[in-house]
Amino acid sequence: MKHRNVLIIEDNAAVVTTMKSLLELEGYKVYTANNGQEGIEILGIVPNMSVILLDMMMPVMNGWDFLEFQRAQSAYSKIPVVVVSAYGETAKTVKPDAIIHKPVKLDLLLSTVHKYCA
């Protein structure tokens, strides 16, 4: 059985708490970070991350920079990344594993997270 660890990197507190609550109700272990920088720190502490839900527009370190960094680090590069963004365009050079557009459909969110944790 795979781990069911989810990392949410998102600066909007309401989005974070809502996604966290709903994913926890589905039995996932949820970690949260306010920006890319915090996300990297959590990856350093928590092993076996199943999937990362990544916002793009964030202060300090945005989603694009995080994705580029994560994909370059062999320790984290295999972790699937799902971009959750209001903008159509996402990554430039590095591609995420999936993209979910805001406003987010719960079914899509759950099925996507489920897919990467199965």
Partner 1 sequence: MPNSSNLNSIINLDSTRATDSHSGVEISVLAVDDQMANLIALKAALKGCDYRLVTVSSGEEALLQVEENEFAAILMDVQMPNLNGFETASRIRQSAKAKHTPIIFLTAIYHDEHYVTKGYEAGAVDYIYKPLNVPMLKAKLEVFAELHRQRKEIEYQSELRKKFESQVHENKMAELKKNTQRQYQDLVEGIRNGIVWCTDVDTLKFTFVSSHAETILGFPISSWFKGKSFAINLIHEDDRHNVQKALDLARTEGIEVDLEHRMVGANGEVLWFQSNVRVAETANGKEFRGLSFDVTKLKNTENSLRDMLQVRDEFLSIASHELKTPLTPLQLQVEGFLRLFNQGRIKDVPEQVLKQMLETSGSQVAILSKLVDQLLDVSRISSGKIKLDLEPTDLVACVRDIAGLFREQLAEQNIPLIISHPKELTGNWDRLRIEQIVMNLVNNAIKYGAGKAVNIEIFKEGEVAVLKVRDNGIGIPKSDQHRIFGRFERAVSANSFSGLGLGLYITHEIVEIHQGKISVQSDLGQGAEFRVELPIAGPKIKSLLN
111 contacts partner 1 (rule: CB under 8 A): no
The interface region with partner 1, picked from 40-48, 53-61, 72-80, 91-99 by CB under 8 A, is 53-61
Distance CA 102, CA 87 (A): 8
Instruction: Report which residue type is found at 66.
Output: F
The interface region with partner 1, picked from 41-49, 57-65, 74-82, 91-99 by CB under 8 A, is 57-65
Contact 33, 9 (CB under 8 A): yes
Residues near 64 by Cβ (< 8 Å), separated by ≥ 6?
56, 90, 91, 92
Contact residues for partner 1, defined by CB under 8 A: 12, 14-15, 17-19, 21-22, 24-25, 57-59, 62, 86-87, 102-107, 109
